[in-house]
Amino acid sequence: MTDIRFDERVAIITGAGAGLGRSHALELARRGAKIVVNDLGGAMDGTGASASAAEAVASEIRDAGGEAIAHGADVTRPGEIADMVEQALQTWGRIDILVNNAGILRDKSFAKMSLEDFRLVLEVHLMGAVHCTKAVWEPMREAQYGRVVMTSSSSGIYGNFGQANYGAAKMGVVGLMNVLHLEGRKYNIKVNTLSPTAHTRMTEGLVPEPALKLMTPESVTAGLVVLASDDAPDRTILCAGAGGYAATRIYETPGVYLPPEQQTAEHVLANLDKITSEDGQEDFQEGSSQTFKFLKYAAAHFDLPLG
């Protein structure tokens, strides 16, 4: 089994001052990467700021013999992200890896949640990933190499009470991955998503104490290392936590074709069991696959050639 190495690679990791981000930064550095440790240093709800968290992790990496710089950019501010990317390029001349890990929580039931809290969580998780990825995209295209990792959550993929804002943002990054992997593949930019379960500040009080010892950030980071590596897959949602590893895929059922005279709500309802049957479901790689499937059904009904 060959060791996964990142010698001469440069990685930016957002939200790396604590928890999963810190674990990611330390492990990539241990494997040879040069690290930009990004962290605003705020509280879990996004308030406040301090450079000490990022600098502490960067110092830890340097003390262990690695190379790292700290940057306190707010991922919701494109200008600050641009400055961080420029510092990385000036320091090392390249950016190979981006890990979009920064996040906040403002949990409340949807009925009680303010629009401000909804919007801010979207700004940090989704738009933060957009701002950071946009800033590194051109350097990666020019270098014909890049590894971008989004961070999703079961709260977005499956749902979790009281996290409408967080869930919407976390599913949003999956959609971002789906498109960027198509646009980046001819430049050898691979875009994947990590869906972690770990004991961090975000899980305080949510998980029974005996189980917490199993939910280590390091167990999640093992998956992150793969997604950031030269041999990374592409467009993969890798779920990781407590030693468990799985992949989430979005499938589409074969569905049915209804001729024009039956294309009514009543006929759709009458066929709902067939429409939702999982037999023969497919994992489409891009949106046009669905269009061609439906056109094929229609063309067959009317005996039309589909070139």
151-171 pLDDT, tens digit each: 999 999 999 889 999 999 999
pTM for the model stands at: 0.93
| 269 and 238 together in one domain | no
| 222 and 146 together in one domain | yes
Mean pLDDT over residues 28-37, rounded?
98
Residues 11, 98: Cα–Cα separation, whole Å? 6
- What total number of domains does the chain contain? 2
| 42 and 97 together in one domain | yes
Higher pLDDT, 273 or 301: 273
Q: Which pLDDT does position 251 carry in this prediction? A: 97
| 37 and 109 together in one domain | yes
| 133 and 203 together in one domain | yes
- Whether the pLDDT of residue 215 is over 90: the answer is no
Q: Is residue 86 very low, low, confident or very high in pLDDT (cuts 50, 70, 90)?
A: very high
| 282 and 241 together in one domain | no
Mean pLDDT over residues 181-186, rounded?
98
Q: What is the CATH number of the domain that holds 125?
A: 3.40.50.720
In a domain, 133, yes or no: yes
Give the tens place of pLDDT for each residue, 116-129.
Answer: 999 999 999 999 99
| 137 and 226 together in one domain | yes
Q: Which of 248, 272, 292 is the last residue of a domain?
A: 248
**Inter-axis angle of helices 164-184 and 128-143, to 10 degrees?**
10
| 109 and 226 together in one domain | yes
Are residues 210 and 167 in contact, defined by beta-carbon separation less than 8 angstroms?
Answer: no
145 is an active site residue = no
- Whether the pLDDT of residue 203 is over 90: the answer is no
What are 240's strand-pairing partners?
A: 196, 245
| 142 and 178 together in one domain | yes
Using a 10 angstrom Cβ sphere, with 0-12 exposed, 13-18 middle and 19 or more buried, the burial of residue 32 is: middle
Q: Is residue 254 very low, low, confident or very high in pLDDT (cuts 50, 70, 90)?
A: very high
- Whether the pLDDT of residue 195 is over 60: the answer is yes
Residues of the domain holding 218 = 10-248
In a domain, 253, yes or no: no
Catalytic residue of the set 166, 187, 245, 297: 166
